[in-house]
Amino acid sequence: MDGASRNGLKSGFIAVVGRPNVGKSTLVNRLVGEKVSITSPRPQTTRSPIRGVRNGKNYQAIFVDTPGSQKPRDTLRARMQDQVIDSLSESDIVLFLVDAPQAAEGLGTGDRYVARLVADSGTPAMVCLNKIDLLEKPTRALPIVQALSELGDWREIFQISASEGTNVDALMESVVGLLPPGPRYFPEGMVTDYPESLILAEYIREKALNALREEVPHAVMVEVDEVERKENVTVVYAIIHVERGTQRMIVLGKGGKTIKKIGTEARRDVERLLGTKIYLDLKVKVTPGWRSDKKFLERLGL
Ligand SMILES: Nc1nc2c(ncn2[C@@H]2O[C@H](COP(=O)(O)OP(=O)(O)OP(=O)(O)O)[C@@H](O)[C@H]2O)c(=O)[nH]1
């Protein structure tokens, strides 16, 4: 018997998968109790798996927030899909999220595609029918639950609201029930293993996504070039990469208004995260075709 089973400790990795925008990051943040992953009303917000850790008295649950699953159309999306498939096979449990209001109109090919990926992985899986707060009547969930139960051999199907917290405790209890005996992989105070520079870049990208409209968001990537810690202030040098000159103009905004807004909002979040005063040096750079540039994507941790 190893040490972990002797002291009754359980641990494991839980992959959180689903189509873009179903609420994966919102659920992981709720389960972990801290903002480890950025969220936005736009699909494809999460670009690489981010791990959030929850510690209990007798367990450690490591949630892996994966990018939204869909058929890949470019190198960036193909890499994102490979990461999802890797996360599925390397996990102990899978949480498969489905958007309730959308599913109420009929389960689409997207959900069926993800369900097949999950089933093929052979990992124990639970379905989370999310955003039930948006259904006009709770009974609207019943036919969806029925249709979902025919798509795979699920351990359980939960009806949840990640943003309001409905049924999230019950879900967590089931997750802990399925965790195998194992050690704490991360120190107890740690909520994520994502590198600091990447978290900072994600915070800035979140603000950019919120400030921008239409096609520009997909063209935006943020790189944190350097973090310089001085006595009273931390200086963060970051670059917002876009693909075209016209997009650069949009990110800058009239008289630099948009970039200023992005910077001010990001600085507030980053100050909270690092607990120091921040000076944010933000530049916008045109990097044509970055989405298909393997070297660039690797450099940015994708
Ligand atoms: N009403 C409601 N909105 C939710 C709920 N969960 C998430 N949302 C919203 O749905 C949107 C998408 O949430 P995210 O958590 O970014 O979704 P995601 O699945 O991580 O998205 P990608 O990273 O693009 O794959 C955000 O605007 C959330 O606030 C919920 O339970 N109820």
Q: Are 237 and 263 in contact (CB under 8 A)?
A: no
Q: Is residue 187 part of a domain?
A: no
Q: Is 190 part of any domain? A: no
For residues 184 and 61, is the Cβ–Cβ distance under 8 A?
no
Domain boundary among 125, 152, 178: 178
Tens-place pLDDT, residues 59-69: 999 998 887 65
Q: Which residues contact 257 (CB under 8 A, 6 or more apart)?
A: none
Q: Can you tell me which atom of ligand 1 is nearest the CA of 42?
A: 24
| Domain membership of residue 45 as a residue range | 3-178
Do 44 and 90 reside in the same domain of the chain? yes
23 lines ligand 1 (CB under 6 A): yes
Residue 186 counted as domain residue: no
Rounded distance between C-alpha atoms, residue 91 and residue 64, angstroms: 9
pLDDT of residue 43: 56
In a domain, 20, yes or no: yes
**Ligand 1 in reach of 69 Cβ (< 6 A):** no
Tell me if 133 CB under 6 Å of ligand 1. yes
CB distance 27 to 97 below 8 Å: yes
Q: 43 and 134: one domain?
A: yes
Same domain, 137 and 200: no
* Same domain, residue pair 123 and 235: no
187-242 residue pLDDT tens? 776 666 667 778 788 889 889 988 887 667 788 999 988 888 888 888 999 999 99
Answer yes or no: are the C-beta atoms of 212 and 196 closer than 8 Å: no
Evaluate whether residue 184 is within a structural domain. Answer: no
Does residue 189 belong to any structural domain of this protein? Answer: no
Same domain, 162 and 206: no
Residue type (1 letter), 179: L
pLDDT of residue 297: 86
Residues 203 and 167 occupy one common structural domain: no
Q: How far, in Å, is the centroid of ligand 1 from the Cα of 182?
A: 31
Q: Whose CA is nearest to atom 26 of ligand 1?
A: 41
* Ligand 1 close to Cβ of residue 48 (< 6 A): no
Q: Which residue reads 């641990």 in tokens?
A: 11
Is the pLDDT higher at 199 or at 290?
Answer: 290
Backbone angles phi, psi at 63, to 5 degrees: -90, 135
Average pLDDT over residues 275-301: 89
- The atom number, within ligand 1, closest to the CA of 47 reads 23
How far is residue 33's CA from residue 39's CA, in Å, rounded to a whole number?
14
For residue 246, is pLDDT > 60?
yes
